[in-house]
A and B are shown apart, each in its own frame.
Chain A
Amino acid sequence: GEDVEQSLFLSVREGDSSVINCTYTDSSSTYLYWYKQEPGAGLQLLTYIFSNMDMKQDQRLTVLLNKKDKHLSLRIADTQTGDSAIYFCAETMKMRQLTFGSGTQLTVLP
């Protein structure tokens, strides 16, 4: 079956880079996503990557995909206190529901 795993917690100092990691098991995944959830809010789509790509950069965000190892990472450069949130990795095939990881709580320390 499908499974998406993430570490539960990450703490970084303000201004440092954060790297949030995710592994998935479904080799037929074609789309992979990162969502951000702030307290009391819904999920906000941050970025996505197709499985035929290995990197995508969007301002402070860099997504790396290692399809062979089924490993996805999200790097946030110059992390700010406003980046403190839960980050969810998710995967899907076309026209199917997303399967989410359990989320990584990012805490940015001053």
Chain B
Amino acid sequence: GAGVSQSPSNKVTEKGKDVELRCDPISGHTALYWYRQSLGQGLEFLIYFQGNSAPDKSGLPSDRFSAERTGGSVSTLTIQRTQQEDSAVYLCASSLDGGNYGYTFGSGTRLTVV
């Protein structure tokens, strides 16, 4: 597609439920990144994919968070047993060359845990 597509755009879930967030990067972009932006905060790095492998998972805040990427394209970020502190906007970005010329961001998924 023309840009990075994320779905859903908004998600409200009950505490304790699992959620799955999807990112569809720009076609041909080999690198894909997940960030989290909490209200009034900067961007917190979560995980980075080069192709289907994740060389850097250092930002995942707990073992409730996992991510995968298949076919070098779509990625899903899964949060198990959601907590209220997981409420944030989850942003996905992709780049052609590993980020040297910056990323293209999606519009994000706003997750609210009630």
Interface of A with B (CB < 8 Å)? 31, 33, 35, 40-45, 48, 88, 92, 94-103
Contact = CB atoms under 8 A, between A and B. Distances in A.
A100 B105 contact: no
B25 interface: no
User: Which secondary structure dominates where chain B touches chain A?
Assistant: loop
Contacts of A42: 4, 91, 105-108
Contacts of B103: 43, 45, 98
Interface centre among B41, B59, B98, B103 (most CB of A within 10 A): B103
A102 B59 CA distance: 16
Nearest to A46: B102
A16 B28 CA distance: 41
B42 interface: yes
A102 to B, nearest CB: 4
B14 interface: no
